[in-house]
Amino acid sequence: MKSQTNVKKEQSSVPPVFIVNIVLRLRRFLLRFADSIVPAYLAVYDHFMGAAHTSLMHSAARLRIADLLKDGPLTAKELAKITESNEDVLDRMMLVLVSINVFKRLPNGKYANNKVSKGLLTGTIGSIRGFTEFFGMAPVLRSWEELPNTLKDGKTSFDRVHGESVWEWMSKDQTALSNFVEGMSSMTEVVAPSIAANYPFHEVKKVCDVGGGVGIVLTAVLRKHPHLQGILYDSKTMLKEASTHLNEWGVADRVELVPGSFFDEVPSGADTYIIKTVLHNWNDECAKKILFNCRKAMQPGHRLLVADFLHSEEAISTLVPFMDFAGMMIYSGREREPEYLARLFKEPGFKLNRTFELPGRQAVFEAIAI
């Protein structure tokens, strides 16, 4: 059992999904309304500064500024001293971040956390610190320079720039891997309890988490349903990280760790397969191959739970369209609407049965093997 001191803290209570959706719609309306009033050039400025914002956010995350401000406000001088940065540059960086509502500046000139910058705190559920550092790392940013070529040929920019996939790069770069695992884990921690609580796992005996990362979903499901056994399937590198996690959470004895590639095969022996935030990393050809390998491991009637972002033409938040495009640039990915997934399932031998929405614009798509 994980000790209380290791348990990550919730940043704050998460409001119900429908409330978040209403607020996101309202925000989109207000932003469009503001854009319709201010001169167009001011609105355009806001949008083309994105690359600078990514780099500034990356530096704030890398220097762990939010953690430094956890115990109280600090001046730029104090922050610069702790982070061994140039005081003037750091002060001006903080001012830009304050202008986009990340951190606040107090009347006495000290900087403090606000609701948004708390999303960068290390060790809190839903923290986006790891991804903020990851998406601003130089090799990832370099992919965006290739956009003109990707626009022409549709090929993945990262692979073209670096001559290897993002997964190969991460298996050799410990900082990239740690940032990715941190970001992925905290995103998954937000939805894992909801998957474990809302799906009828009492009807299931053994669950295989395909590309299960460090096993956060599997852990939540096994802890909630003590009769279940699990298989965690991922690369050797990822499973090394996973063992620590599974031991800490007291489920290691119920989980078989199987290293391998889902492009070669998927282990058989489970009656339910989970594949969370994996299909969205791949183009249709690769996603189909993974689905075919899942289907080969399954019997008719077995279930496949695909958890991914909930894509729709009516983008109520900027997150999913961004993930769709960034995913294509960095790892050949695609976010898919439920109808798109239903079509993709057909050839490998699945039928989309039902969908339920999770927090953070994610959803579980239940497919049945036919």
What are the residue numbers of the active site?
280
Contacts of 40 (CB under 8 A, 6+ apart): none
Binding flag, residue 308, ligand SAM (CB under 6 A): no
DSSP code per residue over 223-249: HH-TT-EEEEEE-HHHHHHHHHHHHHT
What is the nearest approach in angstroms of ligand SAM to the Cβ of residue 362?
Answer: 9
| 218 within 8 A of 255, measured Cβ to Cβ | yes
What is the nearest approach in angstroms of ligand SAM to the Cβ of residue 278?
Answer: 5
Q: What tokens does 132 get?
A: 């903020």
Question: Which amino acid does the sequence have at 328?
Answer: M
Partners of 276 in the β-ladder: 307
Q: What is the DSSP letter of 74?
A: B
Residues 131, 158, 262, 350: which binds ligand SAM (CB under 6 A)?
262
| 162 within 8 A of 139, measured Cβ to Cβ | yes
Binding flag, residue 235, ligand SAM (CB under 6 A): yes
Task: Give the x-and-dash track for 263-282 against ligand SAM (CB under 6 A).
Answer: x------------xxx--x-
In degrees, to the nearest 5, what angle opens at C-alpha 297 toward C-alphas 291 and 303? 70
Residues 67, 73, 118, 167: which binds ligand SAM (CB under 6 A)?
167
The stretch near ligand SAM (CB under 6 A) out of 17-25, 199-207, 255-263, 347-355 is: 255-263
The stretch near ligand SAM (CB under 6 A) out of 79-87, 139-147, 259-267, 308-316 is: 259-267
Residues 119, 136, 183, 211: which binds ligand SAM (CB under 6 A)?
211
The stretch near ligand SAM (CB under 6 A) out of 59-67, 210-218, 248-256, 349-357 is: 210-218
Contacts of 128 (CB under 8 A, 6+ apart): 119, 120, 183, 186, 187
Task: Kindly list the residues in this chain that would bind ligand SAM in the complex (CB under 6 A).
Answer: 167, 184, 188, 211-213, 216, 234-235, 238, 261-263, 276-278, 281
